[in-house]
Amino acid sequence: MMEELPASLLVEIVSRLTDTTDVARCRAVSKGLNAASYEVRWLNVVCSMSRYLKSRSPETKHLVTPFKTVFSHLVFRSTSTLDSVSLGVDRALGGVSFDDVEDESDDLYLTDMNFIREWLPSISHALKSFSVSDFWVQSCWRRSEALSLISSTCHNLGKLVVRNAWLSVDGLCLMPTLRHLTLEFVRLDDEDLSRINACFPNLTQLSLIGVGGLKEPKINFLHLTTCQWSVSNAPLSLIICAPCLVDFDLRCIKPKLVVLEAPSLSNFNLSLENTDELRLKNCANIQCLQLSVECLSLGFLFTMFRHCSTVKRLTLDLVGRRKQVDAAVFGIDTLLGCFPNITCLSLGPGAWHVMENSFRRGGLADGIGMKMIKQLIAHLVVHEVEGTLAFISSVLDKSTQLCDVSLLIHRDVDSYVAGGLISSCRSKFPRVRWRWGIWKEGIKDTWVSDGT
């Protein structure tokens, strides 16, 4: 039956698989699939934890073909033109510590220049996507010049992903075709990112996750539209200049200065543990703002986002050092005074705690922002039902357009207490569409009622 299908259709079927191991299994099914397997235009090979353990065991290591040998063999056996190559170690191997490794092996050092040089030049002319996830225990103390080889040979590469490696930028060449770059848990010898900026000028998507070695990094890309940047160390400053940037997720720890110039920015997710100064230059088009900050005062908030009156959706949480702001007058009314055009407000447990305490001390003032809000989402811990109910009631009384409220109550709150709050809210405000759920640190939120 399988042999009767056209060869082109068999290639299409095999190409829909996502793992080279599955492709290899197809070779045993029929001659047609066997032939088609060598026409697949991608290669995806992962060293599993099982393979790693067998290669280390005295009883089985002589039975295991070295991973690099297996990969090189697959590259050379492919009769098609490969346009996508991915190799790496299983994420579970990230848990292997230096204490578990007794030798200085390099069998899984995948950004090894000598290893990559063996096979990359033969497929580089057509390669459009290249991903390598190294074995950190072997790669972290070996400085790799893989970037120079990749940039000098892969002239049509559009996407590059490198994880768990120590990368040099010596000899890095211009790559005008590269659009997507991901560096994850990488030590990069480019303190200010000047070489990355110069050699990858046409990036549209950039992801820097846990990239070390940076001191005063600057992102300056004219075509960048999406950026995710999680800074692992505490750099002196962060400067981002990206006129086309639309989506930006920034997580950093205690930089002295953050400068952001992004006139097209619409979605901004900022997680910040203190900073001396945050400058937003020409960022007047933010529509959706997510803030998770350690130490927040109303003055700090106004200073940061005084030119962001366009924000429609705001997510806010305060983390750590909550006692510093417990005594502050910081309620929903003052928050909406800063962001008067919000229609959807989402509050994390820290923000809700501070605002409820502020309400108990001084009530809730009326304001323009209170009239605009239509949807409220809150994560809360109920300490005293009457106080929480009074706060919710005051918000609803003053927010005349608020018709959709979602409350997620902490899992450790007594079910009787939570049930009492839910019942009171429903009976007092029947016009509102209520949704109820449960939250707990480190666990995905669970919805109990969808409001129907």
Spatial separation of the C-alpha atoms in residues 164 and 168, rounded to whole Å: 13
Q: What is the tally of structural domains in the chain?
A: 2
Helices H / strands E in the chain, number of each: 16, 21
CA neighbor of 178 nearest in space, from 127, 122, 118, 123:
127
The position carrying tokens 């994420």 is 91
Residue 440 lies in a domain: yes
Residue 321 lies in a domain: yes
Residue 64, C-beta contacts closer than 8 angstroms, at least 6 positions apart: 51, 54, 55
Would you state the pLDDT for residue 262?
95
Spatial separation of the C-alpha atoms in residues 188 and 400, rounded to whole Å: 53
Residue 333 lies in a domain: yes
142 vs 146, 253, 386, CA distance in Å? 11, 27, 61
Element (H, E) at 422: helix 415-428
Q: What is the largest CA-CA distance in the chain?
A: 80
Residue 447 lies in a domain: yes
Compute how many other C-beta atoms are within 10 angstroms of the C-beta atom of residue 345. 25
Residue 406 lies in a domain: yes
The whole domain housing 13 covers: 1-40
CA neighbor of 373 nearest in space, from 350, 407, 391, 396:
396
153 vs 103, 122, 259, CA distance in Å? 33, 9, 35
Residue 150 lies in a domain: no
Phi, psi for residue 221 in degrees, rounded to 5: -125, 125
Residue 93 lies in a domain: no
Residue 347 lies in a domain: yes
Q: Residue-wise over 118-128: b if at least 16 C-beta within 10 A, else e?
A: ebbeebbeebb
The pTM is what?
0.87
Burial class of residue 34, CB neighbours in 10 A (0-12, 13-18, 19+): middle
Q: What angle do CA 368, 373, 377 make, to 5 degrees?
A: 140
The three-state secondary structure class of 281 is strand
> Which residues lie across from 274 on neighbouring strands?
none
Q: Give the type of residue at 252.
A: C
Spatial separation of the C-alpha atoms in residues 61 and 81, rounded to whole Å: 33
Token duo for residue 184: 């994850």
Compute how many other C-beta atoms are within 10 angstroms of the C-beta atom of residue 180. 17
Would you state the pLDDT for residue 86?
93
- Written as tens digits, the pLDDT of the chain (452 aa) is 555 656 555 555 555 555 556 555 555 555 655 555 566 677 888 998 988 899 888 899 888 889 999 889 888 877 567 899 999 999 988 878 766 666 678 899 999 999 999 999 999 999 999 999 999 999 999 999 999 999 999 999 999 999 999 999 999 999 999 999 999 999 999 999 999 999 999 999 999 999 998 989 999 999 999 999 998 777 788 999 999 999 999 998 778 788 999 999 999 999 887 776 778 888 889 999 999 887 555 566 667 777 678 999 999 988 765 555 555 567 787 788 788 899 999 999 988 988 888 888 876 666 655 778 999 999 999 988 899 999 999 899 888 899 999 999 999 999 889 999 999 999 999 999 999 999 999 899 999 887 65
Q: How far is CA 192 from the centre of its chain?
A: 22
